[in-house]
Amino acid sequence: MTTEIPSSVLHLLQNANFIHLGTCLNNVPHVSLMNYTLISPEQKYHDKTGKNHYLLISTPKDTQKYHNLSQNPQCSILVHDWTTSTKASGVSRHGQLLRLLEDLNQSELCELSCNLTGYVEQVFDEDEDSDETKYYRDLHIKSNPDAKPFLENKGAALLLIKIELSKVVDSNFNISKY
């Protein structure tokens, strides 16, 4: 088991649009499809010398995922290279987005799935006007411009999830952990 996030996982996290976020409370699991922002150690608001990567997500506070994470900050995250797997599976090639993705340099795409384990390290209330909240809100909007109206909604929160562990499975079913 290595200690740093492999470059293939960072590449996947930098290029994927969505994650599947798994939460659990009282032995009842819950999964949500989420957009996110990858926060590198250098982008961390206070500690720019650390080695940890984070995922920043936004959610209304009246959701099951927020309730679960408020009570149990542990979570599981699935990140998958849907572009390569969709092309390889022979899925219909209709639609402009899929054609655009197929035209990308395929050598830049990885064929792997990654399971991350993390925990919510910090919660930022969207109603706050602190410099740190504004900093993370701006990063998240820059990374997810279509989500701006959602991010500016009253009753939302930003959650900073520290990535703890990772299990990576590639297209040849090789499994590695860090």
Q: Confirm whether 24 is domain-assigned.
A: yes
Q: Is the pLDDT assigned to residue 34 strictly greater than 80?
A: yes
Determine, yes or no, domain membership for 36: yes
CATH number of the domain to which 134 belongs? 2.30.110.10
User: pLDDT tens for residues 69-126?
Assistant: 999 999 999 987 655 444 444 444 455 555 555 554 443 445 667 889 999 999 988 7
pLDDT in tens, 131-159: 999 999 999 999 988 878 777 777 889 99
The number of CA neighbours under 13 Å toward the Cβ of 114 is 26
Angle at alpha carbon of residue 81, lines to 77 and 85, rounded to 5°? 130
